[in-house]
């Protein structure tokens, strides 16, 4: 049964909250500028709370069950992060307060900048980008500015492997650059031959996700980086998959010049139903002066024999500018800080290793029933095919049927290089029992795909709704409702 | 500590299934010289220790925050009803991902659909996206949308000096990837007229923040007419709380609304996460950035919700997408939805009027102080909850006195944004301030300006 909308539940005259009376003399209102048409819903507080309670019951988070959504790193979000981000000294702090009065928050930011630089092997970090895609866009603007300063503004090409996330080419276009797609080879690596042919004086750089979206570590990563550097290009690392590598490998050590982190993946700030996230950008020493403004700097004053550490906000000397208002998603910064503080380096490494262990376990357990096109040791995720059992069964059908078994489906139909891809990322916080439960469901679904494919094609059967008509939604868009008058 | 649940026996069993002896063996592809580096990070600490540390850090900045201060300038403390956080703490909401799998995500999809609907009501627009990072980036996306509508034939975005300085910077950054430019009149005098004078057939859009950075309402209708006369779009940047009482931008001719939604139940949180609102007229939707939730039916004909018009988006269209945005601000949009539904029609009006009357009371009191003036650039323009005080002393000195004597944060010293406004202070007064709070502010200013003058 569907839940009525707020608008359908509204009745004129109800209100969910009492507000104070005016305690100062009123002023004249500019009548010609006023409105009287505001049709917001009117509900009692109980009806409102029940509404959202029911909506939450019709949603599914990591808290609800296994959520192996590839490339999204849906791991447990520690509750302590939620508590700490809600401390009044953080939530009520205004971003434009005097620097002296916000030394605490700035200290947290400075330390997280330093930790992220250290974890990735970079010189400097900006916490400003609000999401991974914005980190990419920031990096591309920086790469271009750096090359212009070297008299190489004629470069316009960004090389992107065919397995890349869609944000990579989209960010490239936003930066005014063009995309040249590089194919994958038979082992799931970027094709060195194709890359070699593409590397010339038109290249701004390469965007590379490592491990790539097949969940595979690029086996020739050092040659790849060298080829790009040799033609005068820069190498950008998409850090979406850092949950395989934190504590295991520092991308900066390989020569990668810039990389964003997704705090909402590797460092477990909650995804919030799609955001807000945080996409800090880490860069090499060569590029540090181009970072977006502001960054937090530490100043050590030694006056009158006292040593005092202070923090301030600074604009790097060749900054590409500001990416969003204020200093970044501080609430996410606090959570990520707490997460790293709890783990230490040993904990981060343990996370990566268990994320990889879990993903390899699932690959081996499933590969006889779900073909794995690049069947070698994978990192934190792997890709298999979902068109199993009988003709006409699709990856979508498998996904929808998983819902009936109580699991969130994996990412499907991506990466594009594998038809009917199912991209499975279990993360390190899932137990062997959970993984085995998932394997059992997947094997049962594969049997159904052989014996009762029509049952799969009609799935889900137990969700609040049956399969939804997405074509109709796009052809006849209904994007809002209203209070019924 | 970690949150890894594996026992030694689990690990052994799993390694045996995979067919390797040790965990390290799974990392053979990682170049050996760089594998498992030593890192300079502090050792792991217990939850108790981390909590104690961060409580200490937070308490350092809490001194000025016990009572609401007078700083706004794009991020505001408003009352946040208890309903908001109780909804946000539901794990099904905050630990979920973007609802790509609609059947298992009906709740968050419906909540977002309702958010979109309420934003449309508030702004008198036809369509609202599911959210953007913040007001500044929503505005940048609005500018890019206007340029896309102009199809490369129009290469100018016009804004006034009254636009939030950081929004101006963000729009400029985003335009760096285009051949377009942001044109701003050299002077802040007669701002609306000088903006109108810049509009021409090369203009893709005119940006009008109202209430503007200084808290004052702009002549939206006039600017919309002037923009439309040259074939440009009007992008309005309102304060959503102000829309509880003032005319909606869509009714004054705006084509796109980009706004900061933080006032709607979201704390300042040292600048983020906030909420980017982006709404528009129907004709613009297929060129817009951002996710959209639409209503549809399921196989049984029952109502349901899905992400829709995704062929605009990066995961489908890649380099031809309207934007690169993926992660947005879904949870703060949920906060705004719960906020709007909690206060409802009459509540938002009441909150807006409380802001209006209290700020006008404060402004009138301050105007009577020796050497002080209100809104010196445009004293006759209406304002909402923020206003500029011209002081006979540097604004920074007034702020220092407010912090020292009342123990709250002062206003925005406008000399930080504009070299010629060192003596001006931007103050925000909201429903959180009692008459006593305002009177205390006025008393401190009285004392400070009289000492300042006598010096």
| pLDDT tens, position by position, A76-129 | 999 999 999 999 999 999 999 999 999 999 999 999 999 999 999 999 999 999
Phi, psi of B428 (to 5 degrees): -115, 130
Nearest CB neighbour to A35, from listed B64, B108, B246: B246
In a domain, B381, yes or no: yes
Contact (CB<8Å) A89/B58: yes
| Last residue within a domain, chosen from B323, B338, B353 | B338
Instruction: Please tell me the predicted confidence (pLDDT) of residue B452.
Output: 65
Band of pLDDT at residue B453, cut at 50, 70 and 90: low
In a domain, residue B36? The reply is no
| The pLDDT value given to residue B3 | 97
In the predicted structure, residue B147 carries a pLDDT above the cut 70: yes
Cβ distance A480 to B340 less than 8 Å, yes or no, reads: no
Cα dihedral: B141, B143, B148, B149 (round 10): 120
pLDDT tens digits, one per residue of A240-267: 999 999 999 999 999 999 999 999 999 9
Pair B412, B334 in one domain: no
Residues B355 and B303 in one domain: no
The separation between CA B117 and the C-alpha centre of its own chain, rounded to angstroms, equals: 19
Give B377-408 pLDDT, tens digit per residue: 889 999 999 999 999 999 999 999 999 999 99
The domain A345-471 having CATH identifier 3.90.1150.10: the answer here is yes
Residue B143 to residue A145: CA distance in whole angstroms: 22
In chain A, residues with a C-beta closer than 8 Å to the C-beta of B104 are: 59-60, 403, 408-409, 460, 463
Query: pLDDT tens digit string along A295-329?
Result: 999 998 877 777 789 999 999 999 999 999 999 99
| Per-residue pLDDT reduced to its tens digit, B268-320 | 999 999 999 999 999 999 999 999 999 999 999 999 999 999 988 888 889 98
At residue A377, does pLDDT exceed 80? yes
Q: Can you tell me the distance from the alpha carbon of A408 to that of A273, in angstroms, rounded to the nearest whole number?
A: 13
For residue B436, with 0-12 CB atoms within 10 Å meaning exposed, 13-18 middle and 19 or more buried, which class applies? exposed
B5 touches chain A (CB under 8 A): yes
What average pLDDT does this structure show over A450-464? 96
Q: Are residues B266 and B404 part of one domain?
A: no
The chain A residue lying nearest B250, using CA atoms, is A35
Q: Is B148 left (phi over 0), alpha (psi -120 to 50) or beta?
A: alpha
Expressed as residue numbers, the domain containing B312 is: 82-338
* Count of structural domains within chain B: 2
Q: Is residue B102 part of a domain?
A: yes
Q: Is A225 helix (H, G, I), strand (E, B) or coil?
A: helix
The domain spanning residue B375 has which CATH number?
3.90.1150.10
B50 and A167 within 8 Å at the Cβ level: the answer is no
Strand order in B181-183's β-sheet?
A: B127-128, B276-280, B256-260, B233-237, B203-209, B156-159, B181-183
Tokens 């074939």 label which residue? B231
Query: Are both B364 and B332 inside the same structural domain?
Result: no
Asked if A80-342 and A345-471 have one fold, the answer is: no
Cβ pair B119, B345 in contact under 8 A: no
Q: Distance between CA B442 and CA B449 in Å, rounded?
A: 10
| A190 sits in which H/E element | none
Mean predicted confidence (pLDDT) in A341-359: 97
Percent of chain A with pLDDT over 90: 96
Regarding whether B428 and B295 lie in a shared domain, the answer is: no
- Cβ–Cβ under 8 Å, residues B244 and B354: no
Burial pattern A21-56, b for ≥16 Cβ within 10 A else e, equals: ebebeeeeeeeebeeeebbbbbbebebbbebbebbb
Would you state the structure tokens that stand for residue A373, as one six-digit string?
């096109």
Residue-range domain boundaries for chain A: 80-342, 345-471
The answer to whether B30 contacts chain A (CB < 8 Å) is: yes
pLDDT tens figures, A58-72: 999 999 999 999 999
Residue A10 tokens, joined? 């509204």
Task: Identify the CATH number of the domain in which residue B310 sits.
Answer: 3.40.640.10
Note the pLDDT of residue B231. Answer: 97
Residue whose structure tokens are 């080419």? A169
A330 to B271: CB separation less than 8 angstroms, yes or no: yes
Please indicate if any CB of chain A lies within 8 Å of the CB of B331. yes
Examine the domain organization and report whether B221 and B245 are in the same domain. yes
| Separation of alpha carbons A226 and B373, rounded Å | 64
Query: Does the structure show a pLDDT above 50 at B455?
Result: no
Domain boundary among B295, B314, B338: B338
B327 and B356 share one domain: no
- B202 and B154 Cβ atoms separated by less than 8 Å: yes
pLDDT of residue B63: 84
Only one residue has tokens 């490494």, namely: A349
Instruction: Give the per-residue pLDDT at A485.
Output: 62
Is residue B256, in this structure, part of any structural domain at all? Answer: yes
What is residue A312's three-state secondary structure?
A: strand
Q: Is it the case that residue A279 has pLDDT exceeding 90?
A: yes
Residue B271 lies in a domain: yes
Comparing alpha-carbon positions, the chain B residue that sits nearest to A103 is B61
Q: B6 lies in a domain?
A: no
User: What residues of A are in contact with residue B337 (Cβ under 8 Å)?
Assistant: 6
Q: How far apart are CA A424 and CA A364, in angstroms?
A: 12
Strand bridging mode B424-428 / B386-390: antiparallel
Tokens read off for A329: 């998603």
CA angle B449–B451–B455, rounded 5-degree value: 110
- Cα(B413)–Cα(A466) distance, integer angstroms: 57
Cα–Cα distance list, A143 to A127, A198, A204, A206 (Å)? 18, 18, 7, 10
Contacts of B390 (CB under 8 A, 6+ apart): B372, B373, B374, B376, B423, B424
Q: Could B331 and A328 be called an inter-chain contact, meaning their C-beta atoms sit closer than 8 Å?
A: no
A-facing residues of B in 197-216 (CB < 8 A) are: none
pTM of the predicted structure, to 2 decimals:
0.97
> In the predicted model, what is the mean pLDDT of chain B?
96
Is B258 in the same domain as B226? yes
**CA dihedral for A356, A358, A361, A367, sign (positive or negative):** negative
**Inside any domain, residue B27:** no
Polymer length of chain A: 485
Give B297-301 contacts, CB < 8 A, sequence gap 24+: B297/A468, B297/A469, B297/A472, B298/A465, B298/A466, B298/A467, B298/A468, B298/A469, B298/B103, B299/A458, B299/A466, B299/A467, B299/A468, B299/A469, B300/A466
- Does the pLDDT value for residue B5 go beyond 50? yes
Q: How confident is the model over A420-441, as a mean pLDDT? A: 98
User: Element (H or E) spanning A263, and its range?
Assistant: none
Q: Are B401 and B306 in a shared domain?
A: no
The token pair that represents A171 in the structure block: 């960010």
**CA A344, CA A246: separation in Å to the nearest integer?**
11
In a domain, residue B29? The reply is no
Task: Give the residue from B329, B18, B68 showing the smallest Cα distance to A134.
Answer: B329
The pLDDT of residue A308: 84
Per DSSP, the three-state class of B383 is strand
A62 with B96: CB under 8 angstroms?
A: yes
Which chain B residues touch A430 with a CB distance below 8 Å? 5
The verdict on a CB contact (< 8 Å) between B361 and A27 is yes
A15 vs B346: CB contact, 8 Å cut-off? yes
CA distance B371 to chain A (A): 23
B122, B351 Cβ separation under 8 angstroms: no
Same domain, B174 and B318: yes
Question: A1 pLDDT exceeds 90?
Answer: no
Q: Measuring CA to CA, which residue among A377, A383, A389, A435 is closest to residue A414?
A: A383
Q: Are residues B133 and B151 in the same domain?
A: yes
Evaluate if residue B137 carries a pLDDT over 90: yes
| CATH code of the region A80-342 | 3.40.640.10
Q: Which of B289, B310, B338 is the last residue of a domain?
A: B338
Q: Does A188 touch chain B (CB under 8 A)?
A: no
From B177, B314, B351, residue closest to A175, measured CB to CB: B177
Percent of all residues in chain B with a pLDDT value above 90, rounded to a whole number: 91
Q: With an 8 Å Cβ cutoff, are A61 and B91 in contact?
A: yes
pLDDT per residue as tens digits for the range B159-211: 999 999 999 999 999 999 999 999 999 877 778 889 999 999 999 999 999 99
CA distance, residue B208 to nearest chain A CA (Å):
16
CB contacts, 8 Å: A267 with chain B: none
For residue range B346-370, list pLDDT tens digits in order: 999 999 999 999 999 999 999 999 9
- How far apart are alpha carbons A399 and A388 in whole angstroms? 12
Cα B36 to Cα B41: distance, rounded to the nearest angstrom: 14
| B114 & B154 share domain | yes
**Average pLDDT rounded to a whole number, residues A205-234:** 97
Residue B412 phi/psi, 5-degree rounding, is -90, 115
In sequence order, the 6+-apart residues with CB closer than 8 A to the CB of B56 are none
């Amino acid at each position: 049964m569907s839940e009525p909308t707020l608008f359908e539940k509204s009745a004129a005259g109800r209100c969910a909250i009492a507000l104070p009376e005016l305690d100062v003399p009123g002023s004249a209102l500019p009548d010609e500028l006023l409105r009287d048409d505001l049709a917001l819903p009117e509900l009692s507080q109980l009806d409102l709370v029940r509404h959202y309670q029911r909506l939450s019951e019709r949603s599914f988070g990591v808290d609800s069950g296994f959520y192996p959504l590839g490339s999204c790193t849906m791991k447990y979000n520690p509750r302590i992060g939620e508590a700490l981000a809600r401390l009044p000294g953080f939530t009520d702090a205004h971003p434009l307060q005097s620097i002296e009065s916000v030394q605490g928050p700035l200290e947290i930011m400075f330390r997280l900048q330093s930790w992220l630089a250290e974890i990735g092997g970079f010189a400097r970090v900006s916490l400003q980008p609000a999401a991974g895609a914005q980190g990419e866009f920031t990096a591309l603007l920086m790469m271009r500015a750096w090359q212009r300063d070297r008299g190489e503004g004629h470069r316009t090409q960004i090389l992107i492997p065919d397995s890349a996330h869609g944000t990579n080419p989209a960010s490239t276009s936003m930066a005014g650059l063009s995309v040249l797609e590089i194919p994958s080879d038979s082992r799931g690596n970027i094709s060195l031959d194709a890359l070699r042919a593409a590397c010339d004086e038109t290249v701004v750089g390469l965007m590379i996700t490592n491990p790539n979206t097949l969940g595979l570590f690029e086996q020739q990563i050092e040659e790849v980086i060298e080829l790009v550097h040799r033609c005068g290009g820069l190498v950008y690392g998409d850090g979406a998959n850092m949950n395989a590598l934190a504590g295991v490998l520092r991308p900066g050590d390989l020569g990668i010049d810039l990389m964003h982190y997704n705090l909402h993946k590797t460092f477990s700030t909650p995804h919030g139903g799609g955001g807000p996230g945080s996409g800090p950008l880490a860069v090499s020493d060569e590029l540090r002066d181009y970072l977006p403004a502001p960054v937090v700097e530490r100043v050590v004053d030694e006056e009158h024999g006292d040593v005092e550490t202070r923090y301030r906000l600074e604009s790097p000397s060749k900054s590409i500018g500001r990416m969003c208002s204020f200093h970044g998603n501080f609430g996410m910064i606090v959570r990520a800080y707490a997460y790293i503080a709890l783990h230490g380096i040993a904990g981060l490494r343990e996370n990566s290793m268990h994320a990889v262990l879990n993903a390899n376990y699932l690959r081996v357990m499933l590969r006889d029933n779900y073909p794995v096109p690049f069947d070698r040791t994978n990192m934190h995720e792997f890709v298999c095919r979902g068109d199993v059992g009988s003709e006409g069964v699709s990856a979508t059908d498998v996904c929808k049927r998983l819902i009936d078994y109580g699991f969130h489906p994996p990412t499907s139909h991506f990466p594009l290089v594998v038809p009917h891809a199912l991209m499975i990322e279990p993360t390190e916080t899932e137990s062997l029992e959970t993984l085995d439960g998932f394997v059992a469901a997947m094997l049962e679904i594969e049997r159904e795909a052989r014996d009762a494919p029509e049952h799969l094609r009609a799935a889900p059967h137990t969700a609040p709704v049956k399969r939804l008509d997405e074509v109709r939604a796009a052809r006849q868009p209904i994007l809002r409702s209203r209070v019924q008058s | 500590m970690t949150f890894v649940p594996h026992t030694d026996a689990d690990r052994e069993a799993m390694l045996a299934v995979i067919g390797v002896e040790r965990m390290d063996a799974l990392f053979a592809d990682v170049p050996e010289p760089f594998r498992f580096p030593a890192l300079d990070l502090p050792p792991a600490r217990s939850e108790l220790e981390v909590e104690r540390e961060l409580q200490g850090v937070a308490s350092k900045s809490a001194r000025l925050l016990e009572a609401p201060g007078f700083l706004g300038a794009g991020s505001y403390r408003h009352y946040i009803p208890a309903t908001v956080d109780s909804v946000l703490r539901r794990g099904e909401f905050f630990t979920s991902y973007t609802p790509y799998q609609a059947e298992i995500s009906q709740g968050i999809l419906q909540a977002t659909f309702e958010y979109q609907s309420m934003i449309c009501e508030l702004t008198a627009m036809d369509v609202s996206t599911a959210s953007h990072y913040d007001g500044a980036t929503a505005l940048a996306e609005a500018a890019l949308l206007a340029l896309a509508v102009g199809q490369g034939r129009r290469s100018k975005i016009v804004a006034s000096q009254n636009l939030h300085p950081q929004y101006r910077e963000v729009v400029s950054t985003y335009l760096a990837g285009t051949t377009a430019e942001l044109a701003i009149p050299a002077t802040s005098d007669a701002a609306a007229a000088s903006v109108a004078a810049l509009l021409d057939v090369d203009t893709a859009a005119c940006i009008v923040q109202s209430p503007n950075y200084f808290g004052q309402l702009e002549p939206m209708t006039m600017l919309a007419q002037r923009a439309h006369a040259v074939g440009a779009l009007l992008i309005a940047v309102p304060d959503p709380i102000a829309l509880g009482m003032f005319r909606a931008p869509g009714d004054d001719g705006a084509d796109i609304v980009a706004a900061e939604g933080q006032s709607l139940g979201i704390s300042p949180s040292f600048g983020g996460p906030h909420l980017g609102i982006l709404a528009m007229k129907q004709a613009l939707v297929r060129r817009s950035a951002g996710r959209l939730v639409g209503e549809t039916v399921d196989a049984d004909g029952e109502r349901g919700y899905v992400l829709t018009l995704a062929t605009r988006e990066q995961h489908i269209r890649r380099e031809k997408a309207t934007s690169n945005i993926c992660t947005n601000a879904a949870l703060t949009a949920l906060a705004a939805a719960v906020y709007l539904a909690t206060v409802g029609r009459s509540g938002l009006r009441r909150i807006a009027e409380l802001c209006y009357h209290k700020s006008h009371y404060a402004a009138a009191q301050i105007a009577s102080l020796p050497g002080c003036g209100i809104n010196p650039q445009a004293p006759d323009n209406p304002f909402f909850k923020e206003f500029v005080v011209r002081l006979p002393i540097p604004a920074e000195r007034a702020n220092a006195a407010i912090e020292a004597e009342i123990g709250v944060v002062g206003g925005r010293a406008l000399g930080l944004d504009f070299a010629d406004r060192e003596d001006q202070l931007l103050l925000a007064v909201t429903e959180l301030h009692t008459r006593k709070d305002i009177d205390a502010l006025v008393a401190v200013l009285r004392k400070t300006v009289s000492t300042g003058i006598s010096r």
